Amino acid sequence: MPDKRDVTLAVNGKTYAVSIEPRRSLADVLRDDCGLTGTHLGCEHGVCGACTVLVNDKPVRSCLMFGVQAEGKVVRTVEGLADGDTLHPLQQAFWENHGLQCGFCTPGFLMLAAGALQENPDMSDDDIKDVLSSNLCRCTGYQNIVKAVRLAAREMRARTRA
């Protein structure tokens, strides 16, 4: 069996020194080695999007990256969204608009939307739906997810202008 590698990861502004096999997905490394279980794993082959995290500000499937590949990159997970006890505008909007039922897909949707809004804060409704089509919600609560992202985007734009 190939040896474990000593890898240093930067996640949510903290440094994690881990010893991992190269075959270990970034999702498993985050959950099992860093103890950040907010990132969920659904399909493990890039279809459902539950494991979406930001790597260098881009939303990516953490089941399709190996943990060793994240060395030298900046990783952000759902645990890094809130500012202390203050929810991120996306989290607040999901809460207020019933954007989640069982909550399993929520971390993936939040990170997907956070990354997409960072690239384009002025997404049209069509753009929002196109981006959100990347992830699956098995409770099928899509309308409220779209609504929450739309309202969060508005709130985030207002704060930027303020």
Per residue, what are the HEC states of 37-93?
CCCCCCCCCCCCCCCEEEECCEEEECCCCEHHHHCCCEEECHHHCCECCECCHHHHH
Shortest distance, position 162 Cβ to other proteins, whole Å: 28
- 49 versus 99: smaller Cβ distance to other proteins: 49
Give the C-alpha separation, 56 to 19, whole Å: 22
Shortest distance, position 156 Cβ to other proteins, whole Å: 18
Binding mask 34-63 for other proteins (x = CB under 8 A): ---------xxxx--x--x-----xxxx-x
Of 8, 19, 118, 133, the one binding other proteins (CB under 8 A) is 133
Give the C-alpha separation, 100 to 144, whole Å: 8
Q: Smallest Cα–Cα separation from 51: which of 71, 27, 73, 30? A: 27
The residue range among 16-24, 81-89, 97-105, 151-159 that interacts with other proteins, by the rule CB under 8 A, is 16-24
What is the contact surface with other proteins in residues (CB under 8 A)? 1-2, 5, 21-25, 28, 43-46, 49, 52, 58-61, 63-66, 68-69, 112, 115-116, 130-131, 133-134
